[in-house]
Structure 1
Amino acid sequence: MAKGGKTKSKGKDKGKRSSYSQSGYEDAGSSYDFQRCRTISYVSGIYLWTSESYLRGHTIVYDIVRRLIVKRVSLAIASLRPQYIKMPNDEEPVHIKRQFHNMAGIPGIIGCIDGMHIRVACPLKVHNAASYMNRKGYHSLNVQMVCDSSMKITNVVARWPGSSHDSRIFRSSTLRDHLEDGTIRGILLRDNGYACERYFLTPVVRAGTDSERRYNTSHRRTRNIIERVFGLLKRRFPCIGVDSRLRCHIETSKAVIVALCVLHNISRDNGDADFPGNDVHALRQHQRAE
C-alpha cells in the first residue's frame, strides 16, 4: 500500500509540474511566489515599453524572454480597454462640451479625432505585408484615436496597416455606427482627411471671409488637443517614439498600442504629472514625423 501510495503521490506531483510548466512557471515544489512573479512580469513589460532600448536584444534567449513578457503583459492590460477607453456616457457630454467650448468657443464638441502612424518592423509571415508601407515610406500601423477635453483617449482602433486612409478606417469602425444610429450624440472635430458628415466639423478649405478665418482659428486651437495627446504618448512611451519602432509580431504590436492607451488613461485618472517642459517638444516631434 505504501508503495502504491508513493506512486500515486508521484503521479500527482507530476501533474502539478506539467500544469505549472504549461503556464510558464516553476513546479509546485518551487519556492516561487506566483503573485510576485506576475507583478515582476508586469513591471518588466512596462519597463520595456518605456525603455529607449525597447526590443533591441543582444542575445537570442534574452530576446525570446522579453518578447514573451511584452506579449503577455500587453494582452493582459489591453483586456482592460472596456473599463478605461470608452466614449462619454449620458451624463458626461455636458461637462466635456463645456470644456471644449471654453477652449475656443465651438459648441457641442465631445471629442477630436485623428490618425497617428506608429512605426513597426516589417511584418513577417503576413499575406499583406506590403500594405503596412505608408506614404512616408516606412512600415506602420495607422491608429485612429479620439480624445476628450482632458486629453483622455475615448476611442482607439489599432488594427489597420499604414497604407490605409483615415476615412476608410473610420467608415469601418464601430464608432461610426454609433454616431450614425444616435447611440453617441455630439460632434467630433477632424481635419480634411475624413468625409463630410453631420457629426463632424472640419476646417474651411479656402477661407475667404473674416468669419471663416475666425472659425478656422477656433477649430485649429480646439483640435490641437489630439496632436498634444499623440505627442505625449510618444514622449511617455519611447517604444512608439519618433525614432523607435515596435519590433515584435504585428498582432502583439496592436495589443501593445491598446495597452499603452489604457495606461495613458489610468495616468490621467490618477492625475500623474506629464513631462514638464516637454509637451511642446513632443508635439513638434510628432508633427515632423507625420
Structure 2
Amino acid sequence: MGRVSVLVCMVTVGGWMVSGEGREAKVDVTKQIKNAKLGKEEVQWQCGRGMCGRWDGMATREGIENEEMSVIKNYLKDEEARLIVSTIRKIPDNQWVQIDNKRARVFGKHNVTKRATVEMDYKMLDLQGKELVWLRQQLEPYFTDLFQGEGQKLSLFVGKYSQGSFVTSHTDGGVVTLDGNDRYDRKRAFILYLNEEWSAEDGGLFMDEEDKNHPTYSPSWNSLVTFKVPRWHLVTPVTANKIRWSVYGWSLEERVDIGTRFFRFLLANPLVALVCCS
C-alpha cells in the first residue's frame, strides 16, 4: 500500500519521534493508542493486513469512483471505530488548532468558481503535531483500499467541531503542494464520522448543495460520506453542547504539465530521447 503524505519532516523510528533536531522524548499518545482498552478487552490496530473494516466485499474502489457521492454505514468494525475515537479524545487541547475566518480566506482562494469566500469555524489536529504524524500512519490503511488509486496519494486530517462550529458553502476543490514543489489536485473527498447518539437536532449536518433538494446527512456513528471534487456542500452549525469528531481527507493526483510529461517519457525511453535530442 502507498503511504499517507506527511506534510512535516518527521518520522517514527522504534516508537520515537525523530525530527531535524534529533531524537526526542517518547510520545505518550503512541503508547495510549497502542494500549487503548475497550471494556475489559485490549484492542490493537488490526488494519493493514489486507482489507479491513466492515465494508470488505460491500464496496470497491471502482464502485466508489463511479459514484458522484456515496454514503457508507458501518464503515469500520465497531471496535476499530471505538479505538480511533477513544484515541482522539485523549489528545490534549493544545494540540488542536482553531480554523477561523482568516485561515478560511486563504483556503477560499482554491474554490473553483468566484462564489463568496468560504467561512469556517472549527478545530483540526495540529499539522505539525506528533499526534497527527503518528495517527496518519495508523489510520492510512483504513482508507487506501478505497481511495488511493494508482499514482495517487492521500491527505488525512482530524476535525473537532464544538457548539457553534460550522463551514459555509465550498467545493473542496484546490491544489495541494507536497514533496517539495510537486502540485496535486484533490480528486475525491472522504469524511468518517465518529459520533455516538447524534441526531439531526444536534446540528453539524453535511448538506449536499449539488443536489437540487439539498439533502442533509447526520454525522452519525461510524458512517462515511465520500464524493468527487469539486462538489458544493456545507456543514450546518453545531447546536448541541457536544463534540463532533471526524477523520477526513482527499485522494490526490499529481498535476503534471505537458512539458513534464514529455520529460518523464524521455527518461523512461532513453532510445527515443537519444534520437529526439541528438
Relative to the length of structure 1, the TM-score reads 0.23
Rg larger for: 1
Relative to the length of structure 2, the TM-score reads 0.24
The structure where strand makes up a greater share of residues is 2
